[in-house]
Structure 1
């Protein structure tokens, strides 16, 4: 490899193995390496990890984590915090948008790393797209004058987010290992095909495959805030299920047109 490319590979290896170095710094070196050897695939992957998977860009499987759906509410004199609900209890027009208990983490690695800093609470709350509108829909369907849902969100374990970041760091290490195995001579530049194949091996483990960029429907933007570890289903029945499951089913038909209009405005 040329001196510049060889130096970048060595720096990526050094920083990927040092967990005190932020991933954003290592990924920027990958962009520089991709520019040095004209590898669009490496630049695109590193850029997406840095900026996030925006718009219709498909989220990699390793960024999809399990996340229960929870809500906060006021019901008469009682305050409910972290009540877990089933996705089936969301309005149908929301479920049709793919909202489930699998959450694609689309934000950049810098935001993911920052979300792990600070307090020692075990979970993060990530708001559902249009969470305020969804809460109003659910209140409308429930038709309970003394009930008000104040938030609807995913509860994500910090361990899951740390696992995603660990996979990115492992991918960087495997990328360097594959480059060194394929181009052991430091005086020889790797071709763009070599770097593309090395990235594919690091991501998918198949030396014969090639990275193909596909698209899928975006889940929409999300925001993160620290939150206490959210309780799962316990001995107490869900206040939502206990009070108004029947009303939800019956009322959904009556308000479907209005709900569809609200969600269409948010999601489209």
Structure 2
């Protein structure tokens, strides 16, 4: 068997090689997404490189367990203590807009995560963007008169970061393996629909999102793909949607059953009609109903005593 070539093969081989950096593999994913026409693949790889922001869907593999903590001091900022925070002590309206207190999700790019992991600190903290709102609420409703909440954060360790980076690499292994499985032999670039669905599977972990299924011909055939219920494809075509059929170049269409009317028309419709007409004329002749020929209209004759038309300029006798 010949060695597989192309970006997909490089990603698949590099994903299981710890010496190949995640940045290198993700940059190749962006390039592969460009070849496949998959915006979904390009966006996923770009966010893994640069970090997630806004309302972007952050994959589950970027989440690790960590309990939200509060730093509490006296009014002078001394005698500080730490205290775990739990959702049930806050009103429902506040709980609805806050994430889980016992899970930390990393939105940073892989380069930043790797740098923090290499620092090998076991006392790193992450303070969420909504921490000031929660600090204000606690100082107004949940602290002693002489105490003040100064900080809200999640603690995490270098070990947690390495675990997140390991899961990102595993996601690359899954992505490249699934794409290779959905790409027909001899084809280096996956189909756009296949790439989009595999990325969604990697993000959510739900295999049911992969509905794409390549169809492969026999020897010397053309690779074809079809997706969607009741879809078929013949020749070098890709079909999506429901109840679609297409035929490509050099395709052989399946035999088609013709109706009796089509067969009769092809075998001599006019011959059949003339045969029927001849039979009708024969029956009319037998019954004596043969129509008589229509007499031709003769020009009017000139009789004696009548005046013949005179040619212009002709002499007349008296």
The corresponding residue for 1:139 is: 139
Distance between the aligned counterparts of 1:200 and 1:187, measured in 2? 22
Say if 1:137 and 1:15 are closer, same or farther in 2 by CA, change over 3 A.
Answer: same
Moved over 6 A (4+): none
Q: Distance in 2 between matches of 1:89 and 1:67?
A: 18
Q: Offset at 1:171?
A: 1.7
Greater helix content: 1
RMSD (Å) for aligned C-alpha atoms: 3.1
Q: 1:148 to 1:187 in 2, by over 3 A?
A: closer
Residue pair 1:91, 1:138 contacting (<8 A) in 2 also: no
Task: Give the number of aligned pairs.
Answer: 206
Task: Quote the offset at 1:127 in angstroms.
Answer: 0.6
Does the Cα contact within 8 Å between 1:198 and 1:207 map onto a contact in 2? no
Q: Which has the larger radius of gyration?
A: 2
**Relative CO higher for 1 or 2, CA cutoff 8 Å, sep ≥ 6?**
1
The answer to whether structure 1 residue 7 and structure 2 residue 11 are counterparts is: no
Residue 152 of structure 1 deviates from its aligned partner by: 0.7
1:176-191 equivalences under 5 Å are 176-183=176-183, 185-187=185-187, 189-191=189-191
**Structure 1: gaps of 5 or more residues:** 212-268
Equivalents in 2 of 1:90, 1:117: separation in Å? 37
The residue correspondences of 1:88-127 to structure 2 (distance < 5 A) are: 88-90=88-90, 94-101=94-101, 102-121=103-122, 123-127=123-127
Matched, 1:51 2:41: no
- More divergent stretch after superposition (198-207 vs 102-111): 198-207
Residues 71 and 10 (structure 1), Cα distance of their counterparts in 2 relative to 1, 3 Å cut: same
Q: Which runs of 5+ in 2 are unaligned?
A: 213-318
What is the CA-CA distance between 1:29 and the residue it aligns to? 0.9
Paired residues of 2:183 and 2:191 also in contact (CA < 8 A): no
